[in-house]
């Protein structure tokens, strides 16, 4: 058995609020006060820090929870009512902002079209070409909120799939969870990458440092995963991640090697170059294909999942690259 510290052994403390919604949620968890009423979400900026943090905290009750917070609050009706209102605000913005719908096949084909050279919008291209160790550390810190729980929300869709789609989804998730070997769980490999870069590996450590754009990419997985009605969108999100992972991972592995990172850092992305090249075909033909074969009416939802994933990843990339090109940190603050 590994002697390495498990990144999710201890629940993190609640984060610092960023506005009235997140303040009300954190207060409800810490002090037992009534959370903000659902109507308070109506005018909130859907992609803003306050709404995204409030939603992230409410979703986290279904994962690791928070230090000193009663686990029974996971199903508190007042918190769930607020969460529903926040979700509707977020989901409404996503539906308004994604591109016009296309077929699922076209949406997946578009994901495979790499820009000619670097079009200036790709974090992995930037890091491969000119990224310094500080950039790689910031990127890993930001993505830790995603990668330390990467496969978990996708697993929620398994009971909602059938036949070929379910079998293929389980096969891919089996790899994500280490194929039965705890030291090979992909979240564990990302924690090893963080340790190699001198970062804190404790689950949720960089929550206060992460901007709204980073929180939104994680919230999207939880939004789709927690709702059976959005199972098609969850499959679309899963497909978008797997189809785009291999080329981006190859660039990030090269960036880490160029910066002199150790083998534990590069292994996470090397693993994704190999594994996701295989997963891409399984997901496209068996997960998506199997789902649409049994439930063809979900095609628009699959496409929405693909497009919403791209929209939020592009927003995060724009935030990161703008900061780096101006010589600023991409983190909201430097964690202790």
Whether residue 118 is found in the same domain as residue 136: yes
| Residue 121 to residue 313: CA distance in whole angstroms | 10
Provide the pLDDT for residue 46: 98
User: Does residue 186 lie in a domain region?
Assistant: yes
User: Does residue 7 lie in a domain region?
Assistant: no
Average pLDDT over residues 268-286: 83
Question: Binning pLDDT at 50, 70 and 90, where does residue 278 land?
Answer: confident
User: Does residue 188 lie in a domain region?
Assistant: yes
Whether residue 91 is found in the same domain as residue 217: no
Whether residue 41 is found in the same domain as residue 118: no
Provide the pLDDT for residue 7: 60
Q: Give burial (CB, 10 Å; 0-12/13-18/19+) of 197.
A: buried
Range scoring the smallest mean pLDDT among 13-22, 66-75, 297-306, 326-335: 326-335
Whether residue 200 is found in the same domain as residue 109: yes
Whether residue 287 is found in the same domain as residue 143: yes
The pLDDT > 90 percentage for the chain reads 82
| Residue 66 to residue 198: CA distance in whole angstroms | 24
How far are the Cα atoms of 36, 112, 248, 314 from residue 115, in angstroms, in the given order?
44, 10, 12, 14
Provide the pLDDT for residue 10: 80
Q: pLDDT tens digits for 40-93?
A: 999 999 999 999 999 999 999 999 999 999 999 999 999 999 999 999 999 999
Provide the pLDDT for residue 160: 97
In the predicted structure, residue 1 carries a pLDDT above the cut 50: no
Whether residue 110 is found in the same domain as residue 70: no
Using the 3D structure, point to which of 55, 81, 97 is the last residue of a domain: 97
Whether residue 57 is found in the same domain as residue 204: no
230: which residues sit within 8 A by CB, 6+ positions away? Answer: 223, 224, 301, 305
Whether residue 34 is found in the same domain as residue 183: no
- Answer yes or no: are the C-beta atoms of 50 and 20 closer than 8 Å: yes
Q: How many domains does the chain have?
A: 2
On average, the pLDDT of the chain sits at 92
| Residue 173 to residue 196: CA distance in whole angstroms | 25
Q: What is the CATH number of the domain that holds 185?
A: 1.20.910.10
User: Does residue 82 lie in a domain region?
Assistant: yes
User: Does residue 261 lie in a domain region?
Assistant: yes
Using the 3D structure, point to which of 97, 131, 154 is the last residue of a domain: 97
Using the 3D structure, point to which of 34, 65, 97 is the last residue of a domain: 97
User: Does residue 332 lie in a domain region?
Assistant: no
Whether residue 75 is found in the same domain as residue 148: no
User: Does residue 35 lie in a domain region?
Assistant: yes
Provide the pLDDT for residue 21: 98
Residue with token string 């995603």: 146
Q: pLDDT tens digits for 181-224?
A: 999 899 999 999 999 999 999 999 999 999 999 999 999 999 99
- The residue range of the domain holding 50 is 20-97
Whether residue 151 is found in the same domain as residue 78: no
Whether residue 147 is found in the same domain as residue 260: yes
Whether residue 267 is found in the same domain as residue 314: yes
User: Does residue 8 lie in a domain region?
Assistant: no
Q: pLDDT tens digits for 95-123?
A: 999 999 999 999 999 987 765 456 678 99
């Amino acid at each position: 058995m590994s002697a390495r510290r498990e990144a999710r052994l201890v629940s993190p403390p609640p984060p610092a609020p960023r506005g009235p919604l997140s303040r009300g949620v954190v207060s409800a968890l810490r002090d037992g006060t009534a959370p903000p009423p659902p109507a308070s979400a109506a005018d909130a900026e859907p992609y803003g820090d306050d709404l995204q943090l409030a939603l992230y905290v409410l979703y986290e009750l279904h994962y690791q929870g928070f230090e000193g917070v009663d686990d029974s609050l996971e199903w508190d009706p007042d918190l769930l009512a607020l969460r529903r209102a926040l979700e509707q605000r977020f989901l409404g913005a996503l539906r308004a902002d994604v591109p016009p719908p296309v077929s699922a096949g076209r949406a997946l084909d578009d994901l495979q079209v790499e820009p000619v050279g670097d079009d200036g919008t790709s974090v992995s291209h930037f890091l491969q070409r000119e990224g310094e160790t500080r950039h790689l550390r910031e990127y890993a810190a930001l993505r830790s909120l995603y990668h330390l729980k990467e496969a978990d929300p996708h697993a929620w869709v398994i009971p909602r799939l059938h036949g070929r789609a379910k079998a293929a989804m389980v096969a891919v998730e089996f790899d994500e969870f280490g194929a039965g070997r705890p030291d090979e769980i992909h979240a564990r490999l990302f924690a090893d990458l963080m340790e190699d870069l001198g970062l804190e590996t404790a689950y949720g450590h960089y929550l206060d440092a992460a901007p709204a754009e980073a929180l939104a990419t994680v919230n999207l997985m939880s939004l789709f995963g927690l709702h059976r009605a959005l199972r098609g969108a969850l499959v679309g999100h899963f497909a978008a991640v797997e189809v785009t992972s291999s080329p981006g991972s190859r660039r990030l592995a090269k960036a880490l090697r160029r910066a002199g990172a150790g083998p534990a850092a590069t292994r996470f992305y090397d693993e994704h170059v190999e594994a996701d090249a295989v997963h891409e075909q399984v997901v496209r033909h068996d997960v998506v294909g199997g789902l649409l074969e049994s439930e063809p009416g979900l095609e628009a939802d699959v496409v929405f999942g693909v497009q919403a994933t791209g929209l939020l990843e592009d927003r995060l990339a724009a935030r990161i690259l703008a900061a780096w090109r101006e010589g600023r940190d991409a983190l909201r603050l430097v964690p202790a």
